[in-house]
Amino acid sequence: MSSEHPPDDHAPPRDPVSPNDHDHGHGQTTRTERSLPPTRDQPKTVPRQRAAPLLAALWSIIAVLAVISVVRRPDVPRLDGRRDTLTPLAHRANPAKMWLLLRLANTHSDALAIRGADPSTGSLLAAGVAIAQALPDERVPVAPPANAVAGWLDVHGLYLLPEETHDELANRLDPDRIATRIQGLRAVLSSPLFGVSGIEARRDPLALRELLHAVAGRLGHLNAPNRDPMRPTPTGNGDLLAANGNLLAVQIHSDRSSSSVANDARAAVAGLGVELSVVGPAATVERGRAHLSRTIGFACVATVAAWTFIISLASRSVRGTLCLAWFATGSTAILLVVMPRLDVFSLPLLVTLVGFAVALVLADERQGRRFPAVGLIAAMALFPLAICPYPVWKEGAVWWVLGALITLVPAGTVVRGLGVWVKHRNHAARHRFVPTPPPRISSSIVLALIAAGIWSFGQLPHIASDAVASPDAELQSDQHDLARWFFDPANTVEIRGYGDTAAAALERAAADTRLLAYLVPTRAVRLDSPGTFVATDRELLLRRKRLTQLGIMEKMRSLRLALESQGLRPNAFAESVAGVSSLDATPNPQAALDSALGPWIRRYLSSDKNGVYVRSFVQLRPGTAAESALAADAHRSLTAFGLRVAGWRDAAQLGDTLILTLATGLWLGAFISWVSSRKLAIALGLAATAAAAAAATVIALHLVFNHGIGPLALPGLLLAAATTFFAGLPASTAALAKTPISVPRLLWAVAALVAGVLALVLSAEPIWQRAAVVLASGAAIGAGLGVFVAPGVCLALSRARTTGHGSDERNRP
Amino acid sequence: MIRTRAPHRRALLSGIGITLLWTALPRSLCAAPADETRLAYRLDLWRTYSRKTRNLVARYTSKRRSSMLVAPLRNAGVLAFTAPGTLLLRDDDIRGSTTRIAAGRVAITPNDAALPRSIVHAPDTSAGLRWLRDHLLLLFAPVELSALRADCRVRAPRGRTPRLAFLPEAGSVVRKSIRSLEVSLDPVGGAISRVDIAEAQGDSLTLEFSDRRQNVPASELAAILQTAGQPSVR
């Protein structure tokens, strides 16, 4: 790295990017070099000239092997189909959890015609039973066992009634109402369908359980039949049946692959006329991996083609184009081979890195004195991602630096060495001039862009990290069906209730679910928690007092009389009467754990370093933001997890994350610029322009692309800042030193970077398309401001500094 | 001695074996065809009547036996069926109820409008309700035999009265609520004369039909349906 000397008014301006001060790779020195006095660097030139072709040859051998490896043996296990790696690990969906969606195959028969619009679901239910038998250890009932719930509600139903139903309970226990109810019961006994109607005369002759419909959605999978026609209902087997009767959802917990589970399940339901598909993180990963392996080849080829096109335009030389295109291809292949894991977020970073290497070589062909500085800027371009909270970007930042060592460090030497092999001779760049934009206008542009960027950031909607759907159409359709007829797993918020013991955790879960109960039904579809089946100590005290006031024992005598008057045997209802009249059996957590519900409750129990916890799930309605569930002051003690929670927290912290990451990037760029130029004005001017470039990228996302902002935009903003430094450092240095540089060559260099990234738009991967838009915008804006605005800002700062020093000197006595 | 007795023993054993085969084999070979023939005959008999049914009006008497009742509950009423999927059974007594199946939905309402209406499960969510609803409709509807035999096992019990027994498939969740549905047919015309529903809890319901009128004029049927669809006020 060479230092830049201040311009000397008495000496002729020194051209740091003179076309003749560069070696052409033939061991010849140019006329200018011969005329110049020998420097300390000159003795090293000859060994470097010999080393470059050897290094290029060695590199080419490695690159050929890498290309062969990529083309002949695509290493599929290294491909990672996960799409949730921007989300913190704790908030991601459990990869072992999957849903089997069973559909009725399209059949037509007289029987179906008789049933009108309702097709038979008997085969679906039979398929659910068959899967439960075939996968006994992996299939998990969604709903608690119906008999266990019925038994629990028989004994504790009155305690679980919310307080707002107690007036209606008192009405129903009025002797006249009891008599009427029993007459109604006797009336429907004559129906041939009474036995299958769901009227539970023995268990609940007074239909008190209908009062629980007030808490439908808040009490496990209990539904209010007449109010919730679209809600799924649990089958006797514990699966979920869609309201249209055509879909059955079976929950599976398995460490096996989704295709393996699906094959076993398909074998189990063969011949039942049922179609089966799998939805869940495992299926998404497998489909994502398959999609990645299909699309990555085309994306790489398109990118290399875009680079080659721009390189050919920039260099106007077949040999030069071949050298650089081969370097780009080889570097891409080497990186693809070297990276231990290749996911959907890796390729945009990889393409950007190789694009930077291409840009570096293109820019350096005539402007070699800035090579170490701009190379370092490129190597550090996305390193600030290491401090952001997104796991995949953190990992990407480390790989960016390691990748820079592989691509950026040998770039110049390898391309020069390749040039020697193909006898390529660099030509002097034309159109050299000193970039001198007006300082005041440049400074105004920077200030205006920063202000507008801050305004735009407030206007942009937040795009959550999980907002990009899988490109697999079949999987999308299945996910849509699951969300429409059952619930959207992405909208599920997990609440953890901690305690020292299982009973304490269950009581805490009960208290948490009471806090969240107001969400149902307007904002949430269902509260799925064992805590809904137990009452807290405070609730038990209050409800016992209220129920005692009702005088239930006397009401039961009226019931007995009413039964006898209608020709019914009171003893047949003894169990129900005993359950209603006894207030001694309370639905406390320990009783629930010891009851038939115990095995089901234990599936919601887990433990970690903080103790035992019960997992409760809130199924939010589509469009409901997580903050509505969790942002209220009273709910801050809730320990919540889930994609929506992660998105909500991310939206709240995105501004801070962005500022911190960008500030780090600006500081790094400014520091490298200062070390390179030894001019504070350049460092500050470039930092200010880089901030404006990031702001301009935000404005472009807002006004041009009508795009939101989220974690996916972060590398784009950093790239905008980095390309500002990349293009601005040579331009500003030249402006302050009043030495001409080839601005078109600099722009061509960045154009290669932009074109490579932009080629990803042609791919069939939505994440790549979005990333391409953001990265290309950032790079283009950064380069434009770096070349056409940054020199003006640097000049303004330099003049201000000079004026300040001058006035100080004038004021000095 | 041994040499002379062995052929006798072998002959004795062979004789017993042949006798057993002679008595058992024909029965096992012939029983299945006899049952199948009887079933086919009765299904044909049922089809003889039902294929002509566009609508049907009949009187019925019902008798429910239940552990909840001190004595069997008896009622009388009118049945109205319209192909393909509307069935109505209305008790004459105001203390009785009306059962209506239409467009796949099921409603059971007390005849006395002052009495509270009980909530009936949606058929989609109750396999038992769906099964019984479908088979009650199919019994009266002009459908193919395959439709009648779907989702169940059909038997033809022995006896002088032609009967058909519909049993839920083995392993089906329907068996948790319904044990069997048995239908008695008129030996001459094939009309349904009696329906016995055996519930899994031990309760049972018997419907006996009389005064059957097939394909009555639409106006008369509409009047019956309209009258039956309106709850009475005591």
Instruction: Give the pLDDT confidence score for residue B7 in this predicted structure.
Output: 65
Below-50 pLDDT ranges, chain B: 1-2, 233-234
**DSSP E strand stretches across A38-116:** 79-80, 97-104
Does position A444 have pLDDT exceeding 80, yes or no?
yes
pLDDT tens digits along A309-326: 998 888 888 888 888 899
Phi, psi torsion values for A73, nearest 5 degrees: -130, 75
Residues above pLDDT 90, as percent of chain A? 22
Residues 101-120 on B with a CB inside 8 Å of A are: 101, 103-104, 106, 108-112, 114-120
Per mean pLDDT, which range of A86-90, A384-388, B50-54 is the poorest?
A: A86-90
Instruction: Give the pLDDT confidence score for residue A746 in this predicted structure.
Output: 84
Confidence bin at A114 (pLDDT 50/70/90): very low
Distance from C-alpha of A335 to C-alpha of A354, rounded to nearest angstrom:
9
Distance from C-alpha of A180 to C-alpha of A241, rounded to nearest angstrom:
35
pLDDT tens digits along A618-646: 888 777 766 666 655 455 567 788 888 88
Instruction: Give the pLDDT confidence score for residue B22 in this predicted structure.
Output: 66
Between these two residues, B227 and A559, which has the higher pLDDT value? A559
CB contact set of A406 (below 8 Å; sequence gap of 6+): A331, A334, A335, A338
Per mean pLDDT, which range of A6-10, A573-577, A706-710 is the poorest?
A: A6-10
Instruction: Give the pLDDT confidence score for residue A306 in this predicted structure.
Output: 94
pLDDT tens digits along A40-78: 444 445 555 677 788 888 999 999 998 888 887 656 567
The C-alpha angle with vertex B232 and arms to B228 and B233, in degrees rounded to 5, equals 175
Q: Which residue is closest to B98 within chain A, CA to CA?
A: A191
How far does A649 lie from chain B, in Å, by closest CA? 39
Instruction: Give the pLDDT confidence score for residue A119 in this predicted structure.
Output: 45
B90 in A contact zone (CB under 8 Å): no
Nearest alpha carbon to residue A575 among B68, B143, B23, B51: B68
Instruction: Give the pLDDT confidence score for residue A683 in this predicted structure.
Output: 93
Distance from C-alpha of A687 to C-alpha of A659, rounded to nearest angstrom:
13
How far does A574 lie from chain B, in Å, by closest CA? 11
Mutation for B interface: A107, A109, A112, A114, most B CBs within 10 A:
A114
Does position A6 have pLDDT exceeding 50, yes or no?
no
Number of H helices, E strands in chain A: 28, 15
Instruction: Give the pLDDT confidence score for residue A443 in this predicted structure.
Output: 92
How much is the average pLDDT of A341-358?
A: 91
Does position A341 have pLDDT exceeding 50, yes or no?
yes
State the sign of the Cα–Cα–Cα–Cα dihedral A460, A461, A465, A471. negative
Distance from C-alpha of A259 to C-alpha of A265, rounded to nearest angstrom:
10
Confidence bin at A93 (pLDDT 50/70/90): confident
Nearest alpha carbon to residue A694 among A781, A755, A772, A784: A781
Distance from C-alpha of B60 to C-alpha of B77, rounded to nearest angstrom:
5
Query: Which pair of tokens denotes residue A336?
Result: 């693809």
Taking the CA atoms of residue A483, residue A488, residue A490 and residue A492 in that order, the dihedral angle to the nearest 10 degrees is: 180
B210 in A contact zone (CB under 8 Å): no
Contacts of B95 in chain A (CB under 8 A): 183, 186-187
What SS3 class is residue A229? coil
Distance from C-alpha of B94 to C-alpha of B98, rounded to nearest angstrom:
10
Instruction: Give the pLDDT confidence score for residue A371 in this predicted structure.
Output: 58
Distance from C-alpha of A714 to C-alpha of A698, rounded to nearest angstrom:
10
Give the other-Cβ count within 10 Å of A168's Cβ. 14
Between these two residues, A570 and B9, which has the higher pLDDT value? A570
Instruction: Give the pLDDT confidence score for residue A115 in this predicted structure.
Output: 44
Instruction: Give the pLDDT confidence score for residue A684 in this predicted structure.
Output: 94
Does position A790 have pLDDT exceeding 90, yes or no?
yes
Contacts of A201 in chain B (CB under 8 A): 68
CB contact set of B206 (below 8 Å; sequence gap of 6+): B62, B63, B64, B194, B195, B196, B197
Contacts of A121 in chain B (CB under 8 A): 124, 127, 130
CB-CB under 8 Å, A237 with B73: no
Contacts of A118 in chain B (CB under 8 A): 104, 123-124, 130
CB-CB under 8 Å, A197 with B118: yes
Between strands A79-80 and A342-343, the pairing is parallel
pLDDT tens digits along A499-520: 889 999 998 888 888 878 777 7
Confidence bin at A280 (pLDDT 50/70/90): confident
pLDDT tens digits along A463-488: 877 767 777 888 888 888 888 888 88
pLDDT tens digits along A540-550: 888 888 778 87
Between these two residues, A775 and A803, which has the higher pLDDT value? A775
How far does B11 lie from chain A, in Å, by closest CA? 51
Residues 149-168 on B with a CB inside 8 Å of A are: 150-151
Confidence bin at A678 (pLDDT 50/70/90): confident
Contacts of B64 in chain A (CB under 8 A): 189-190, 194
Instruction: Give the pLDDT confidence score for residue A27 in this predicted structure.
Output: 37
How much is the average pLDDT of A8-23?
A: 38
